[in-house]
Amino acid sequence: MLNEKSKIAILGGGSWATAIAKIALVNSSEVNWYMRRQEQIDEFIRLSKNPSYLTGVKFDTDRINFTSNINHVVATSDILILATPSPFLKQHLKKLRRKLDKKIIVSAIKGIVPDENMIVSDYFEAFYNVPKDNIAVLAGPCHAEEVALERLSYLTIGCSSREKARMLAQRFSTSFIKTSISDDMLGIEYSSVMKNIYSIAAGICHGLKYGDNFQAVLISNAIQEINRFCNAINPLHRDINEPAYLGDLLVTAYSKFSRNRLFGTMIGKGYSVKTAQIEMEMIAEGYYATKCIHEINEKYRVSMPIVDAIYEILYNRCSPTLEIRKLTEKLK
C-alpha cells in the first residue's frame, strides 16, 4: 500500500539520481540509495557529496542508507526510483533475485531498453510481472543541474492509477519542484525518449552553423513528429503542448546543460560518433534512442524525417552536412 511512510529508494549514481535524492529528502526523513560501485559510496560518505556528479550539493549522509547490493535495496524499499542510463539497466538488474511485483516502480530513465526496443514501463511489466498500476514515470523539463541549484522546476508523474500518481506527486512536491499528474504514461515516456533524438538534431544543426530561425522550425517540426508517433503507438486525447512533452523537448534542445545537444554539436563540428562519445564521458541517451525508435517505426511507418536523418548520420555514417541539407527540404 502506497502512503506517505512508504520507503523510497534511488537506483543510480549519476547527476539525475543525485538530483532526485535531493528532492526526495525534502519530504522523507531518510532514503535508501543503491550505487553499483562501493568505492563511489565510500567517497560519497567521506565527502558528504557525490564525488563525480553535482559536486556542489551537500548531503546529510546520516539520512541516506547506501548499498551496493541491489537485492538489499529492493527488500528494504517500497518505491524504487530508477535513474540509471537505459543501456546499463539490464546490467544492474542481472544480480536481482527479489520479486518486484509488489513494488512501486518509478522510471526516471528517459531512454529505451536496448535489444528489446522497449520503454522501461513495458519492460518491467513484461519481464518482471509488475502490474501497470504499480509503474510510474517521472517526466518534464527538469535538468539535474538546475534542481541542484533549487531553481524552480516542473515534474509530471505519469501513472495509470491516478491515486498513486497523486501520492507520488505529494512526495516529490517541494518549494522548488511543482508537480502535476497524468494518465498518459506511454505518451510521456515515448516523448521523453524521443526528445533526446531531437536534441542531438539541434546540436548537429548548431555545429553546422544553422541559426536560431532554422532551430525554431526544426523544433516546431520535432513536436509534430512526437505527436504523430505517440498517436500511432497509443491513440489518446493529449495536449502535446504540455510541459511533459513540449516543455521537456524545448529545454533538452536548447539548454547548455543538455548532453544530447552537446553530443550533436560535436558531430556537427566534424567529430566522428565514436570520438564524440569518448570525449563526452557521459551517456547521450539519444544515440541509443535513435536506433530503437527507428526500428519500432518500421512497424508503424509514421512520417518522421528528423529521426530518419539522425539515424542516417549516427548509424550509416552519412554526412551531417548533406543529411541536414536534405532535411531542410522536408520541413515545413
Q: Which range of residues forms the domain containing residue 275? A: 192-328
The CA distance from 308 to 297, in Å, is 10
Give a yes or no: residue 208 inside a domain: yes
Give a yes or no: residue 31 inside a domain: yes
Give a yes or no: residue 39 inside a domain: yes
**202 and 179 housed in the same domain:** no
Identify the domain boundary among 183, 210, 240: 183
Q: What is the DSSP letter of 52?
A: S
Identify the domain boundary among 134, 163, 183: 183
**105 and 202 housed in the same domain:** no
**170 and 82 housed in the same domain:** yes
**206 and 306 housed in the same domain:** yes
CATH number of 301's domain:
1.10.1040.10
**131 and 213 housed in the same domain:** no
**Per-position b or e across 312-329, b if 16+ CB within 10 A of its CB:** bbbeeeeebeebbeebee
Give a yes or no: residue 178 inside a domain: yes
CATH number of 121's domain:
3.40.50.720
**203 and 98 housed in the same domain:** no
Give a yes or no: residue 267 inside a domain: yes
pLDDT given for residue 114 in this prediction: 84
Q: What is the pLDDT along the chain (332 residues), one digit of tens a residue?
A: 788 889 999 999 999 999 999 999 999 999 999 999 999 999 999 999 999 999 999 999 999 999 999 999 999 999 999 999 998 999 999 999 999 999 999 999 989 998 899 999 999 999 999 999 999 999 999 999 999 999 999 999 999 999 999 999 999 999 999 999 999 999 999 999 999 999 999 999 999 999 999 999 999 999 999 999 999 999 988 999 999 999 999 999 999 889 999 999 999 999 999 999 999 877 889 999 999 999 999 999 999 999 999 999 999 999 999 999 999 999 99
Is-catalytic flag, 195? yes
**106 and 207 housed in the same domain:** no
Neighbouring C-beta atoms of residue 99, cutoff 10 Å: 11
**147 and 239 housed in the same domain:** no
The CA distance from 197 to 293, in Å, is 9
**155 and 134 housed in the same domain:** yes
**27 and 99 housed in the same domain:** yes
- Give the cell for residue 216: 525554431
Give a yes or no: residue 62 inside a domain: yes
**168 and 25 housed in the same domain:** yes
Give a yes or no: residue 154 inside a domain: yes
Quickly tell me which residue has 548548431 as its cell.
Answer: 206
What residues contact 94, with CB distance under 8 A and at least 6 apart? Answer: none
**34 and 120 housed in the same domain:** yes
Sign, Cα dihedral of 154, 89, 105, 37: negative
pLDDT given for residue 312 in this prediction: 98
Give a yes or no: residue 2 inside a domain: no
pLDDT given for residue 283 in this prediction: 83
Nearest to 84 by CA among 75, 76, 96: 96
Q: Pick the catalytic residue from 90, 110, 195, 291.
A: 195
The CA distance from 306 to 228, in Å, is 13
pLDDT given for residue 256 in this prediction: 85
Diameter of the chain by CA atoms? 58
Q: Are 113 and 83 in contact (CB under 8 A)?
A: no
What residues contact 191, with CB distance under 8 A and at least 6 apart? Answer: 139, 226, 230, 244, 245, 248, 249
Identify the domain boundary among 166, 183, 200: 183
The total of structural domains in the chain comes to: 2
The CA distance from 120 to 123, in Å, is 5
pLDDT given for residue 115 in this prediction: 87
The CA distance from 310 to 115, in Å, is 19
